[in-house]
Structures are given as structure tokens and as C-alpha cells.
């Protein structure tokens, strides 16, 4: 494994290969010890979190960076379902925690805490009639097709922001913006989703005659109150509940 032609022995190619393998084994040993200690301290091996796209993505990085530092051996899965689909995943046990659009009546199995409100803006394409009619009245919205986020859960909650008689339902905020760009209809969209969309330059937010232009919707952290949580889930729940400062704060509620 060594070349001894000089004063100092030098590893052969075979020796270099064995050294790399040994380092991998040692690294895995440290990882295994860390996992064992986590399990001994009642830390979950794996955590699933479901987050509505309305929660600003710029707030996720700091939260999960801290989580990774505190719980380096917990495997994490982050899902992005829509609206009340988040609550359904938590109810069914497919997710340990969720951040969701807070429903008017939350499911009885879910404990929750309101963490803030995200403002939704009226958007339409540059050539849509709403972009050209001056301050938009509430009655104007009823005359044109509305494009709404489709969730697979309760029909009642799907209708919460419905204004127009004619509606298209779409399971993606990003696809909604593409349709809006092509003047197919108008929609309510959050600022952070609009800002991150390639369609943003072709979309306008017309002035409104009936309010300041924002329609804040509440977000809540949810968990199943009958299922015990380990140390990692409890820590993440508390950290998400403390993230209210990154959201638009409307009147308290929930």
C-alpha cells in the first residue's frame, strides 16, 4: 500500500483508494452515532411538513436552516399542496405539521395558531378589459372570467374568494399567472408569487374603486391535536409560529 523508495512512505493508488473508503466509513460511523443519539432523545427520524404556496418562500430558508442546525439527523420532506389540502394531509397523518390558508371553520381534529395574513392583489393581463377601464368596481369583476386556485378538499372553502359567475379552477398559482398574462381572466395573487413569476412583466394590478387593493387572507400553523409530537416537530412548530413578523399583519383573529 506504500511506496518506500524515498525517505517518507507514499501511498500507492491502491492505498489512496483504501484511504478514501476508510474516511467514508468513519463519516458514516459519526452519522450513525448521531442518529442513535437523536432517537435516544426522542427526536423523530423523519418529518413531513405541508406548506401552502401562499406562505412566502423567502421565509422558508431561514426557518429550515435553523432546523437543519438543531436537528442534523432528521430526514425532512416538504410538500406544497394547496389551501385546505394541507389540513387534509395533517388529518390523515401524511404530514406532521402544516401551514395553510385558515378556513372559516377549521376541522375539529386540527389544532392551529394564526401566524399572520398574506395580502392578495387583483391581477390581469395588460390587454385585459379590467386593465383599461380605470378604477375597477366590484361589479366589474363579476363581468369577466375569474381564475382561481383549485384545491381537492371542501367545496365551501373553494368558493371563499369567488366573485365572478364564470370561473376557471387551476391547481397552480404559476399556471394561473400564465393564463392571466394571456388575458384569459383575472385573479387574486400574492405579491411574492407574482414577483417570482416570469409572467410578471406582462401583468398589471389595476387600481380598485372599492378598497385599497389588498385582500388579506389568514395563514395558520396546524397540527393534529391527538397525535403526540417529538422534539423536532415541536421545535419546528414553535419556530413557524414565531415567523409572524415576515407576514402581513392585518387585524388579529383565529
Longest dimension (CA), the chain: 91
Q: What does the pLDDT read at residue 39?
A: 55
Report the domain count for the chain: 3
Same domain flag for 154 and 63 = no
CB 231, CB 42: distance < 8 Å: yes
Please report which confidence band the pLDDT of residue 254 belongs to, taking 50, 70 and 90 as the band edges. Answer: very low
Please check whether residues 152 and 209 belong to one and the same domain: yes
- Does one domain contain both 125 and 112? no
Residue 251 has pLDDT above 50, yes or no: no
* CATH number of the domain where residue 70 is located: 3.40.190.10
**Residue 180, domain CATH:** 3.40.190.290
pLDDT at 81: 83
CA distance readout (Å), 63 to 45, 71, 156: 19, 12, 32
Does one domain contain both 148 and 67?
no
Does position 32 have pLDDT exceeding 70, yes or no? no
Distances (CA, A) of 107 to 88, 114, 157, 159: 9, 14, 12, 17
* Same domain flag for 200 and 238: no
What crossing angle do the helices spanning 60-70 and 231-241 adopt, rounded to 10°?
Answer: 150
Q: What pLDDT, on a 0 to 100 scale, did the predictor assign at position 161?
A: 79
Residue 131 pLDDT greater than 80, yes or no:
yes
Q: Are residues 104 and 23 part of one domain?
A: no
- Whether the model pTM is above 0.85: no
Can you tell me the distance from the alpha carbon of 153 to that of 85, in angstroms, rounded to the nearest whole number? 6
pLDDT, one tens digit per residue, over 82-117 is: 656 898 899 999 999 999 988 878 888 999 999 988
**Residue 251, domain member (yes or no):** no
Whether 221 and 52 have beta carbons less than 8 Å apart is answered as no
Q: Is residue 76 part of a domain?
A: yes
CB 120 within 8 A of CB 248: no
Q: What is the pLDDT of residue 40?
A: 53
Do residues 94 and 138 share a domain?
no
Q: Which three cell numbers stand for residue 71?
A: 436537528
Compute the mean pLDDT over every residue in the chain, rounded to the nearest whole number: 83
Domain that holds residue 72: 46-116+217-246
Amino acid at each position: 500500500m506504500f511506496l518506500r523508495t524515498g525517505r517518507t512512505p507514499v501511498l500507492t493508488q491502491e492505498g489512496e483508494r483504501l484511504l478514501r473508503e476508510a474516511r467514508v466509513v468513519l463519516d458514516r460511523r459519526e452519522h450513525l452515532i448521531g442518529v442513535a443519539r437523536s432517537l435516544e432523545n426522542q427526536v423523530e427520524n423523519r418529518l413531513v411538513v405541508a406548506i401552502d404556496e401562499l406562505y412566502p418562500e423567502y421565509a422558508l430558508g431561514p426557518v429550515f436552516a435553523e432546523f437543519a442546525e438543531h436537528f442534523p439527523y432528521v430526514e425532512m420532506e416538504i410538500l406544497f399542496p394547496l389551501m385546505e389540502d394541507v389540513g387534509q394531509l395533517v388529518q390523515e397523518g401524511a404530514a406532521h405539521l402544516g401551514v395553510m390558508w385558515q378556513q372559516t371553520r377549521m376541522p375539529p381534529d386540527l389544532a392551529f395558531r394564526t401566524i399572520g395574513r398574506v395580502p392578495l392583489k387583483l391581477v390581469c393581463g395588460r390587454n385585459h378589459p379590467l386593465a383599461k377601464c380605470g378604477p375597477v368596481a366590484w361589479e366589474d369583476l363579476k363581468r369577466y372570467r375569474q381564475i382561481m386556485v383549485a384545491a381537492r378538499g371542501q367545496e365551501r372553502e373553494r368558493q371563499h374568494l369567488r366573485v365572478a359567475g364564470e370561473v376557471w379552477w387551476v391547481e397552480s398559482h404559476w399556471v394561473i399567472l400564465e393564463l392571466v398574462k394571456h388575458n384569459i381572466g383575472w385573479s387574486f395573487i400574492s405579491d411574492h408569487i407574482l414577483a417570482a413569476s416570469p409572467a410578471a412583466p406582462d401583468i398589471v394590478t389595476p387600481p380598485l374603486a372599492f378598497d385599497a387593493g389588498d385582500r388579506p387572507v389568514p395563514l395558520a400553523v396546524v397540527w393534529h391535536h391527538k397525535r403526540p409530537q417529538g422534539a423536532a416537530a415541536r421545535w419546528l412548530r414553535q419556530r413557524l409560529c414565531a415567523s409572524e413578523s415576515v407576514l402581513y399583519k392585518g387585524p388579529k383573529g383565529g
